[in-house]
Chain A
Amino acid sequence: MPRSTSNGAPATRVARALDVASRTVLAAVGGYIAAALTTAGLARWLPIPRVEAVVAGMLASFAVYAAVAIFAFAVVRVSRVWFWTSVYCVPLAAALYLAMHGAGV
């Protein structure tokens, strides 16, 4: 059972359901976003021919997805995983946006 307090399961039924829901959304949606951004970043910035970089990104993506999914359920406080996934995704998304629509890095 996933845990959100430091000494066991969340106190109430509702808290437990919310905890599981939060982890599930993080694992399924957050994991996919992290994987998609990784793929896009590798495709854009790996210093190899871009057709190779695209495929390299695809190959790596599922490992990223699985890692986020596992962490979403492994870590005691789910808010931490939300935090670290955001720390990974938001700057990456911003850099990709700038690269594609702005300066053209």
Chain B
Amino acid sequence: MNGGLRQSMAWLHTWVGLLLGWLLFLVFVTGTAAYFQDEITRWMQPEVHGQHNIDASAEGAIAYLQTHAANVEQWSVDLPGHRAVATTAFWKEKGETFAQWRDHSFLVDGHGQKVDARDTLGGWRLYRMHFDLYYLPVLWARWLVGLAAMFMLVAIISGVITHKKIFTDFFTLRFGKGQRSWLDGHNLSAVLALPFHLMITYTGLVTLAAQYMPWGVAAAYDKPTQYYAEAFGADEAPKRSGRVAPMASITAMIKQARETWQGAEPGYIFVAIPGDANSLVKLTRATDAGMDTRGETLTFDAATGVMHARPPARGGARETESVMVGLHAGRFSPLLLRWLYFLAGLTGTAMVGTGLILWTAKRRLQLPDPERPYFGFRLVERLNVATIAGLPFGLACYFLANRLLPIGLLQRPNWETNGLFIGWGALCLVAIVRPVKRAWVETLSVAAAGFLAVPVVDMVTTDRGLFVSLWRGDVLFATFDLVMLAFAGLFGFCAWKVHHRKDVVRAGSKKEAIA
């Protein structure tokens, strides 16, 4: 049929891309930021010093727990990944759930000392927002994000089928041509990183497949618990003996784990019924120790330090799943690859953003009455302003809140996050009440100002400002501030471009005016 398939795929691409496009934009922005979640956390905890040191961190955390939480149910020590410094540890008392972990959590720095850093969830909050969103029950949020990911997958496939000249478009970017330029920009950002987009969407679905597709478990097992026991090892919950036994050296257990894993580091320590003669220690391999992110867990007798038999190795399917999740999260990646991940994520963000703007650019020329566009058009137009300029400004507010909120504020991490949504909400209001072109200029300018303010406020409120960091060679802090300045420049440039753009004259409008 005459152009039939391409036409129907173009239609599908348009609507599948639009309907959840704003949610996808958020998923891309927070996911891209999450590639640097450890670095963001370090920037958001300027009180934490020292270098990454697993042994010192583990010893310091366990020593603190032995002194302050000797007779509890469980200890958990979240060791720093290879780019992080701080260790988060917490304990669980009888009858408590894991949701209450923050009630008994503390932070250990790279020297193994407990440190009173400002209370923040740092980059972790952005990482979780990537699939848990916020202000919503987590399960609902994940279904919503999963649906958006399915839409994205369908949008990618239909987008590729729609494409006539996928190779030529690779080299085509025409500036200043209205709709044509948005199409070029959309094609370029989509095609340039197409393998990444496809990989990231499919592996993203895989990360939460157990929630989205539980039917395999239902078909092959009588009870889901049997599956989890086979997949993750039967949970050996030890019984209290009543006899007190001091814990063997954690450093020796970590050493043994390293030897077992050919040098890979542990990422997580779990101790059940600490202090009892039957206490168990579990060490889980760090998620960033390999491309397969789901690390093995080794079990030790706490009192003797003797390692139990290793769990059976995973088979091909589960190894594939582990690598797919690892590819998605990129935890294994060294710094250069991490920057590529970040750039690819930005490209994906640009793909979604240009796609959303393209929807309006294409229809603006065909509006029956350009003075009074129909409701759907105005809705999309305003949502675009509110999301594309508003959400990045929210991120700047998140970082600013980290520096400006009082240190002792109750629920400080939640207020940082509220700061994100207050900033975003404010720009949503601007997007609704102002004429659309003014709304673009104003919101983009505010976003630029927000990012510009981050290094300035950092300089005023901490002793780790940009110039000091450059002077000391503190690459992480200096880079963070410079990236903020780069975003300030980008949004400022966009605001300037929109401000100086001539209003697009509708093809038929002059004739109509005469008639």
Contacts from A to B (Cβ < 8 Å): 1-3, 6, 27, 35-37, 39-44, 48-59, 61-63, 65-66, 69-70, 73-74, 76, 96, 99-100
Contacts and interface: CB of A to CB of B under 8 A. Distances in A.
Contacts of B7: 1
Given A35-B213, A61-B213, A52 B315 contact: yes
Contacts, number: 120
21 contacts: A27-B154, A36-B213, A40-B216, A40-B219, A43-B217, A54-B221, A54-B227, A55-B320, A58-B209, A58-B210, A58-B213, A59-B206, A62-B202, A62-B205, A65-B150, A70-B157, A73-B12, A74-B8, A74-B9, A76-B4, A100-B219
Contact of A52 (B5, B8, B318): B318
Nearest to A37: B215
A44 B219 contact: yes
Given A2-B11, A66-B150, A55 B318 contact: yes
Nearest to B14: A1
B96 interface: no
A8 B404 CA distance: 60
Contacts of B205: 62
A53 B227 CA distance: 11
B316 A69 contact: no
Contact of B219 (A6, A35, A96): A96
A99 B212 CA distance: 23
Contacts of A56: 317
A40 to B, nearest CB: 4
B93 interface: no
A39 B12 contact: no
A19 to B, nearest CB: 11
Contact of A74 (B5, B212, B217): B5
Nearest to B10: A1
A43 B157 contact: no
B317 A55 contact: yes
Contacts of A61: 209, 212-213
A72 to B, nearest CB: 9
A32 to B, nearest CB: 9
Contact of A40 (B4, B150, B153, B218): B218
Interface in B172-196: none
B157 to A, nearest CB: 6
A39 B218 CA distance: 10
B212 to A, nearest CB: 8
A58 B206 contact: yes
A43 B220 contact: yes
Interface in B220-266: 220-221, 227, 230-231
B57 interface: no
Interface string B156-181: 01100100000000000000000000
Contacts of B158: 70, 73
Nearest to B318: A55
B150 A57 contact: no
A33 to B, nearest CB: 10
B324 interface: yes
A69 B315 contact: no
